Structure 1
Amino acid sequence: MSSDSKYKLEYVWLDGYLPEPNLRSKTKLTDKAPKTVADLELWGFDGSSTQQAEGSSSDCILKPVALYPDSSRKNGFLVMCEVLLPDGTPHPSNFRATIEDEADLWIGLEQEYFLMEGTRPLGFPADGFPGPQGEYYCGVGYKNVGDIARQFVEEHLDLCLDAGINHEGINAEVAKGQWEFQVFAKGAKKVCDDVWMARYILFRAAEKYGLGVELHCKPVKGDWNGSGMHCNFSTAHMRDVGGEEYFKKLMDAFEKYANEHIAAYGPDNHLRLTGLHETQSIDKFNWGVANRGASIRVPHAFVKNGYKGYLEDRRPNSQADPYKIVSRVQKTIKSVG
């Protein structure tokens, strides 16, 4: 049988490691190209190797939930999966299954990360540090971004666009070796699926460059920016009705549930949310118009438009599980009514 008649389906899932899961994947070969998720079969894996089962009963099930073209492979597809127990119920590590999907919830997530060369960020000298922050943000030129990084982030962007993931932008970030991409989608589950798959593509694409990808929110201590995953969100009510009264009630709810948000927004956030480097302190909550040091940043246009539009929660960090971020935002919005 010719290799042209075989299709490579890369089943991707989240493991059971804590505090946040890792990505795992393996390839299933089929004779027919899938057109939709409905064409994809359930598959299995050994959960005892991923912190999701005991060795004495190690079977776990992969349930396909999203399908993406994979332009990096001949006849390739990427398959986002949920993990199920052998009886077909969601595995305890399957947080996606607990989220209520809402088509009218529009979410944009800004994924920051560091490219790593061995144990140090790309562009850092073997001993000491590069020049201080200032010119790296949206920087250009070898001095600011080097030679490999831009080639790599452009390749990642193209792979994601080929997969149908709705990137809205990429840029070099404030710290040396730090980059960002932004993904927008309509629907609570879709944006999370897309960000996880964009992360998968990021890690896999970095392999051939001999680079690592660091999602930890503060990989370089001291006077260096940490990495966040700012969450931009709106509902139909926020976009079409809005109003100052509703906005203030919403901000009261975000303040009321501040601890629950921090718990969902990624590990070690106290290292990043210090009140420095464009953050608010982890133990405080505030909102501000165009204020990069606020917990929630309010665009000028939002206020001018009668408190209508979208808001930006700046507290989620780069390592956080998008499913947990979106779920917590959902719950707080719903508490307002």
Structure 2
Amino acid sequence: MSLLSDLINLNLSETTDKVIAEYIWIGGSGMDVRSKAKTLPGPVSHPSELPKWNYDGSSTGQAPGQDSEVILYPQAIFRDPFRRGKNILVMCDTYTPAGEPIPTNKRYAAAKVFSHPEVASKEPWYGIEQEYTLLQKDVNWPIGWPVGGYPGPQGPYYCGVGADKSFGRDVVDAHYKACLYAGINISGINGEVMPGQWEFQVGPSVGISAGDELWVARYILERITEIAGIALSFDPKPIQGDWNGAGAHTNYSTNSMRGDGGFEVIKKAIEKLGLKHKEHIAAYGEGNERRLTGRHETADINTFLWGVANRGASIRVGRDTEKAGKGYFEDRRPASNMDPYTVTSMIAETTILWKP
């Protein structure tokens, strides 16, 4: 095993200028992250320097067998924390050979929103709180839980410390450092309310970068749990009953919200979000109705309400924002399995471009 480890950790820069690029994309389910590697003749610093590539879309549920080729367009580059050196991770989106975005390419539509002059001028910032659950691989049950049984009730686990309260910290810390190495703007981690559940935060990130960074952070987490022999779940309600679900709370602001008088801008934006509540809920993740019950720090899925410091609201405004009269707000409705391209662009489109 030591020889295998030595080979995995070989420093290629000592013997070759070639680098490995791991092309990453999203498969047909909308949550299955896929990747494959390509050797490049030398280091690159911008996605435009990378070649397009293709894959078998019939094997990912994205193309028929008789016309299976899907084309990968490189969009964002990150350092590779697994191969290290000058090797890179490449976030891609997906197109037909004719250059049309395939139906599961959510990035294309989001990029159109974020490139709109009115949206770009508002400099939309996002901070996404990604919750997830670590599972015992063979039994599909949260780590730290007795197989087929339940731990003590919620209370001691949130941000908890100790072998009887915190499960999977080695995976979480490995992910934290790997994201920082990659160049992802990960801003923190914490243990969540349900044992075996954790959260990481990405941001503040501007525009389309929020989606790119969150997807690559998810990819890195999938790879680390693969190494650890642990299964990863983004299900918004992995355990039924008196247990918290998993969300992807999305914090948002524009330059006018962050400036003097911003609280009034925030209130107008929240009013617009309320008018399009059903449309947002429909795009905020599969199975979200199991999570948004009005219990466990959620608002009911059919009810839109906002409040200051209210974690039982659809939209929460922080005390600091209220006190300063400017800042940001938190959309607490997105599920843990939401598509960040869809959610971030939809918030921008509703609050900036939509005219009721």
Q: Structure 2 length as normaliser, TM-score?
A: 0.90
The 5 Å alignment of 1:182-201 reads 182-201=201-220
| In 1: Cα distance, 2:48 partner to 2:338 partner | 29
CA contact (8 A) 1:233 1:312 kept: yes
CA contact (8 A) 2:234 2:336 kept: yes
CA contact (8 A) 1:250 1:336 kept: no
Name stretches of at least 5 consecutive residues in structure 2 with no aligned partner.
Answer: 1-10
Provide the residue aligned with 2:243 in structure 1. 224
The 5 Å alignment of 1:302-317 reads 302-306=321-325, 308-317=326-335
Per-residue deviation, residues 234-283 of structure 1 (Å, max 9, x unmatched)? 00111114455434332221111000110111011111000100000000
The change in CA–CA distance for 1:241 and 1:317 in structure 2 (over 3 A counts) is same
Q: Structure 1 length as normaliser, TM-score?
A: 0.95
What displacement does 1:226 show?
A: 0.3
Provide the residue aligned with 1:157 in structure 2. 176
Q: Which amino acid aligns with 1:11?
A: Y
What displacement does 1:152 show?
A: 1.0
Provide the residue aligned with 2:34 in structure 1. 24
Q: Which amino acid aligns with 2:232?
A: V
| In 1: Cα distance, 2:132 partner to 2:101 partner | 30
Identity of aligned residues (%): 47
Q: Which amino acid aligns with 2:340?
A: P
| In 1: Cα distance, 2:250 partner to 2:292 partner | 15
Provide the residue aligned with 2:26 in structure 1. 14
The 5 Å alignment of 1:1-337 reads 4-5=15-16, 6-17=18-29, 20-75=30-85, 76-99=87-110, 100-101=113-114, 102-103=119-120, 104-118=123-137, 119-146=140-167, 149-243=168-262, 245-306=264-325, 308-334=326-352, 335=354
Secondary structure at the counterpart of residue 292 of structure 1: coil
Secondary structure at the counterpart of residue 255 of structure 1: helix
Q: Which amino acid aligns with 1:54?
A: P
Per-residue deviation, residues 30-59 of structure 1 (Å, max 9, x unmatched)? 221112212211011111111111111111
What displacement does 1:120 show?
A: 0.2
Which 4+ stretches in 1 moved above 4 angstroms? none
The change in CA–CA distance for 1:153 and 1:247 in structure 2 (over 3 A counts) is closer
Greater displacement, 75-84 / 198-207: 75-84
CA contact (8 A) 2:266 2:329 kept: no
The change in CA–CA distance for 1:150 and 1:135 in structure 2 (over 3 A counts) is same
Secondary structure at the counterpart of residue 164 of structure 2: helix
| In 1: Cα distance, 2:261 partner to 2:280 partner | 22
| In 1: Cα distance, 2:23 partner to 2:216 partner | 11
Superposed CA RMSD: 1.6
| In 2: Cα distance, 1:246 partner to 1:172 partner | 33
| In 2: Cα distance, 1:108 partner to 1:154 partner | 19
Q: Which amino acid aligns with 1:47?
A: G
| In 2: Cα distance, 1:250 partner to 1:301 partner | 18
Name stretches of at least 5 consecutive residues in structure 1 with no aligned partner.
Answer: none
Greater displacement, 179-188 / 94-103: 94-103
The change in CA–CA distance for 1:293 and 1:45 in structure 2 (over 3 A counts) is same
